[in-house]
Amino acid sequence: MKILGPGFILGTLVFAACLPIIVTFSQSFTIPEKLKLAQGRVIINTTACTVTCGLGYKEEITCEVGPDGVRRKCETHHTECLTNWICGMVHFTVPTGKKFELTCLTPDIVLYGREAFRFTWTFVRGIISINDDLFKPFRRHVHSVTLNSAQETDSGTYRCDVQLLKNLRFVKRIYFGLRVIPAYLVNLNFDQSLTEVQKLIDKGMDLDLDKHVHSQHSSWNKKVLLALGIGMTGGVIVSVLVSITVHYLLKTSKREVNSKI
């Protein structure tokens, strides 16, 4: 009598266990009538997030859709969205002694309400870096850092972390690279280098800068042409005077030679 191997016996047992499942799926599946009439609310359209970094909002349109595919009872909702919470670095250069402020209050946070957030500041002195291992605790529970009189020792990188108070979820991280340099080394007053027209435009006056620049060029060209004309005229007069003088000297010398002969 032949003895069956353990592998054959195990395979037979597995087949017997799966047989009811195979028979069940082989039968036709019937959807109940109540389920055919069911309707569900689905998102049919959504906009992009209002910000590319930090907590923003997007607009979603939802509708009830039934088996017939018809949209009913559509509603518009504004929901929170977070595309990216690390917002990069902003650089500043200020002279010593100047009052300066660093703030995390961006328009999206103001719109949401600053009371709903937790702010934490850290600082790495003397270098501009995004290496998080270098940062040390600096300030907490304030949305802005004010330097009443910036000094060179204030130079470095400031990092502001913003969290939602309701779940302590990080929604924004901003790096501020600050350079404080002695005021006597460089003049950072940009307004002094502006022309009068540029200053008027900066104040909001509607002026055609290109036209003014063109007129300045035209005026400059006229001045150059006038200078060249004066120079050429003066050169001609000087040349005539020199020629007359040389002719007179030659004629005088010739007379003296003839008289001696």
Per-residue pLDDT for 69 more than 90? no
Residues paired with 248 in a beta bridge: none
For 12-36, the pLDDT digits (tens) are 544 445 545 444 444 555 666 666 6
User: Between 225 and 146, whose confidence is greater?
Assistant: 146
N-terminal to C-terminal alpha carbon distance within the chain: 166
Topology of domain 86-191, CATH: Immunoglobulin-like (2.60.40)
pTM: 0.55
Tell me how far CA of residue 83 lies from CA of 48, 80, 158, 170, 202, in angstroms: 10, 10, 23, 12, 35
CB atoms within 10 A of CB 151: 10
> How large a percentage of the chain has pLDDT more than 70?
57
Nearest 5°: phi and psi at 99?
-80, 135
Q: What pLDDT was estimated at residue 23? A: 44
With cut-offs at 50, 70 and 90, classify the pLDDT of residue 126: very high
Parse the chain into domains and list their residue ranges. 38-82, 86-191
pLDDT tier, 53 (very low <50, low <70, confident <90, very high otherwise): confident
What's the pLDDT at 4? 47
